[in-house]
Amino acid sequence: MSEPHEDLLVRFGLMGLGVIFIALAYVVWSSLGYLNVPAIMVETLLSVLGVALLVQSARTSTPTIENSIHIYSIIIAAGALTFMVYLFYQMPAFGTDELAIDYYAAHQFLLGLNPYKPVNMLEVFTYYHVANYFVTPLTVGGG
């Protein structure tokens, strides 16, 4: 029979792995989206594996009040970890839109494209995932 603290460590380990697999599925989806069938299969596999590990970490043999406290703590910790991963991937990479424009112009130049043509710079904000509230009004035609 295992010690209670060993059981708790195993549960938190499984929960951590589940959150990591779900975060990896999110990373794969944000970089590849629904481009091809292998990408969708990888996203689905990572998501299912992550959820299965989370369920396994909260599984108990006999439902008692002591076990329900462990289940609630695991659910709260998994939610907190998922929220932290969400915040980590939602933070902007650039503080201003000017930095994104400069980086994209350099990227276009390295690809052999003329960054001074407006048609080559249309995708700058979607390429770097710059949110609309980071875009200054003058760069989008506003006053």
Taking only the tens of pLDDT, the chain with its 143 residues reads 456 666 777 778 888 888 888 888 887 777 766 667 787 888 888 888 888 888 887 775 555 666 667 767 777 777 777 777 667 666 556 667 788 888 889 989 999 999 888 888 888 877 777 766 666 666 555 54
Same domain, 17 and 73: yes
Listed as own residue / partner, the contacts of 102-106 with beta carbons closer than 8 Å and 24 or more positions apart are 103/128, 104/128
Domain that residue 110 falls in: 97-140
Number of domains present in the structure of the chain:
2
- Calculate ∠ Cα 19-36-28, nearest 5°: 20
**Which of 52, 70, 90 is the last residue in one of the domains?**
90
Same domain, 49 and 86: yes
pTM of the predicted structure, to 2 decimals? 0.45
